[in-house]
Structures are given as C-alpha cells and as structure tokens.
Structure 1
C-alpha cells in the first residue's frame, strides 16, 4: 500500500517539477501518445472486460461507462484538458478559475486512485500492476502540462506549487480512502470502475485526436502507439 501511495504521489510531483526546468517549447507529443495508447489499451484489455464480466447487469454497466466518458468531458471545461497533457498559454487566471481547475483535477485524480483499491474484486481475479502503470504514465505528462501552462518565464508562483502538491496527493488519497475507509461493496466498486473507465476512454481518445493535426497519418505516431499498446499487453499478461 505504501509503495502504491508513493508511486502515485511522486509520478505527478516529479512530472510537474520537471516542467519547471524544461524550456517552454519542448514537445511531449510522443510521450503523450505512448501514454495515451497504453492507457487506452489497458482500459480495453483489462478494465472493461472485467467490469462487464463481474457485473450482474452488463447493459446497465455500459451506461456508467458512458456517464464517465461525458463526466470527463465536463471536467475538461474547467481544466482545459490538462489531465491529458494539453498545455497552453495561461499566465493569468482568476482565483475562481484556479479553484475550479484545482477542484476538477482533484475529482479526476481521486477517482483514478480509487481504481487501485485492494478491496477490488479485480485483484483476486487478476493481480496485475498494469493499471497502476497506466495511471502513472498518464499523470506524468498531466503534471508537466499543469506547470507548463501556468509558469511565467523563470517565475513560478507559490499558488501553482500548491495546486501541483494537491494534484499529486489526490490520487494517493483516493486510493487510501477507498481502500481503508469507504469499504465499498463489490457492486459499488464495479460501478466506480466502469465510470472511471469511461473517463480513461475520453482522455486516451482525445490524445489521439489532438496529436493528429488535420488527421494526417504519421508513421512515427503509429509506431509509438503500437509500442504503447504492445507494452500494455506485456504488462497485463507477463508482469
């Protein structure tokens, strides 16, 4: 449990700190594509099959996947897509805007962490760390984009570091709370995981769209995507 907590926290924190020392023009396009492909693949080959298998009503579970997809779209109204690595110039933002951004990111990250609860019916069925790897690969560019978006030259405001710290803690706290405090039933966990899988589908497919200007085929992007999917398969079945 301590290991998972630490990995979730440090992956986001170090991703944000790295952005502080990287030039603003540095592209994370291909790492983002790799992370998106890995996350998409894990959702398809791990989370969704088990969600539908464990559910007593698969047709109803499909609705929760759909709800999660559109809920993530709603969150992105406040985050501007930072959670899938979309960095953009935003040197000035109102206090209300920063608060809305922080709340949306915390909700998203908290749900991600809850996906790793040890009380999950998934862990007895398949003890794989592939989902944790997928979340980590997703959080690093997200934290990088968060700091890149708000840093202004060499100066980074104290408020940004607070946002980064809270963002870094939200997934570990979601994991800890769901694992040690809430003690949700198997049915409730299946619904939660279906909801989060919809969020993952939105994030990963958005990455593919945003990294394909004019929808042109790119061999390098395709190969990076295949590599991400291939490593997801390896992580799922061999780790």
Structure 2
C-alpha cells in the first residue's frame, strides 16, 4: 500500500512540476498520451473491473445503478473542472466568474475525483487480486500524469504566484494517496460494509468509463478518421490486456 501511495503521489507531482519547468507544453504530445491512457483505462475497466464487480455476490442491478451514478457524477464534476482531468489545458469559465471561487471549485472537484480514484486501489481482496491490482495502478498513473500537466497549465493562467501553484499541485498530488488510505480504513473502522465497498468501486468504475470515453470523443472532435489515434488506442488496449493476462 505504501508503495502505491508513493507512486501515485510522485506521478502527479512530477507531471505537474514538468509543466511548470517546460517553457511550452506540447498539446499534441499530451493528447497522444491521453489517448493511450484513455484506451488503457477503458480496457482495464472492461476486462478487469466490471467482470469482477459482477462476479461478486452483490445485487447486480444495484452494481449497474452505481456504475451509472458514477458515470453521470463524473459529468457533473466536469462542469467545475472544465475537463482538466482528461487533459483540457484551457479553463472555460462559466459566465464571468474569474474569481478565487473558480479556482476553489476546480480544486475541490479535482480532489474529489482523484480521491475516488485512490479508493479503488485500497482493497485488492474485495474485487481484484493483489497481482491484477498493478494493472489498475498503471492505468490510474497514466491518467494522472497528463491530468497534472493540464492542471498546472490552467493554474499558471489563474495564479501568477508560483508558491500558490505549487501548493495546489501538492493538494492534487495528495488526493489519490488520501483516497487509498481512506479506502483501506473505511471498512475496518466500520464506516462502510464490504457490500458498500463494492458499490463504491462500481461508482468509480462509472467515473473511469466517462473519463476514458470522453478522451476518445474529444481527441477527434470533428469525427474525422485518424489512423494515429487508432494505432495508439489499439496499443493501449493491447497492453492492458497483456498486463491483465501476464502481470
């Protein structure tokens, strides 16, 4: 668990620091990484998380409802994040709200999103085995690095003070590790039952489905044929399958 926490923290931190140090972030490269990460995450959700969720002895209708709830909850979060978690590098402010409130709402929504990501890595014995947990961790990391790049690009526009930018990056980097710790202790402390953990994981699976499918849609906004995108997507999906089979 400690290793997972460290990896999650430093992947987000280093991704954000790179964006601060780089004079200009190449959006084309970030989009390619996002397509790969989205394909990997989508494939892991389809071949790993969802089958193991439905193999539990919980009510399958309830599991499906929580997956749907997580999907639409992520859509609500994106109203406040403007899609930073899947690589948007420009804030689209709602109305004329350029105040500190927009930054607070952005960070609150991103923290909650990352926190939920962390909870699904907490209990390998609930829906996934110890060895297959690693493939899910890889998927989350691949998603967090470009998200951190996009976040720092947005924060650089909103906050000119470098210390403020670094402080907010640390908040973002700590969110998933805190989620891992919370997920690990919620059940032992009696705050949530085993069935509740399964429903929580179903909820996060819905988040993953929304994020990964949104990445695919937004990488070809005009729905034009893009062979590079297809190849990157197939590589991401193939590696996810290979990792699931042979990790």
Q: What's the TM-score, normalizing by structure 1?
A: 0.93
Please say if 1:232 is aligned against 2:232: no
Closer, same or farther in 2 for the Cα pair 1:80/1:90, shift >3 Å?
Answer: closer
Which deviates more, 229-238 or 49-58? 49-58
Shift of the alpha carbon at 1:89? 5.3
C-alpha contact (below 8 Å) 1:128/1:235 kept by paired residues:
no
Counterpart of 1:10 in structure 2 is 10
C-alpha contact (below 8 Å) 1:128/1:236 kept by paired residues:
no
Counterpart of 2:63 in structure 1 is 61
Counterpart of 2:220 in structure 1 is 212
Query: Any residues of structure 2 matched to 1:41-120 within 5 Å, and which?
Result: 41-88=43-90, 93-118=98-123, 120=125
Shift of the alpha carbon at 1:96? 1.0
Counterpart of 1:151 in structure 2 is 156
Q: Distance in 2 between the 1:189 and 1:225 partners?
A: 31
Deviations 1:73-107 (A, max 9, x none): 00011100001111115799411111111110111
Shift of the alpha carbon at 1:20? 1.0
Deviations 1:1-30 (A, max 9, x none): 110010010011011111112243512111
Deviations 1:40-95 (A, max 9, x none): 00000110111111142112211100000000000011100001111115799411
Output the aligned Cα RMSD. Answer: 2.2
Structure 2: gaps (5+ residues): none
Q: What's the TM-score, normalizing by structure 2?
A: 0.90
SS, match of residue 222 in structure 2: helix
Equivalent of 1:202 in 196, 207, 210:
210
Equivalent of 1:34 in 9, 33, 36:
36
Q: Distance in 2 between the 1:177 and 1:85 partners?
A: 26
Structure 1: gaps (5+ residues): none
C-alpha contact (below 8 Å) 1:55/1:61 kept by paired residues:
no
Q: Distance in 2 between the 1:232 and 1:127 partners?
A: 11
Q: Distance in 1 between the 2:104 and 2:146 partners?
A: 21
Deviations 1:115-155 (A, max 9, x none): 01136412448644111000000000000000012214xx5
Closer, same or farther in 2 for the Cα pair 1:203/1:131, shift >3 Å?
Answer: same
Q: Distance in 1 between the 2:210 and 2:167 partners?
A: 27
Counterpart of 2:179 in structure 1 is 174
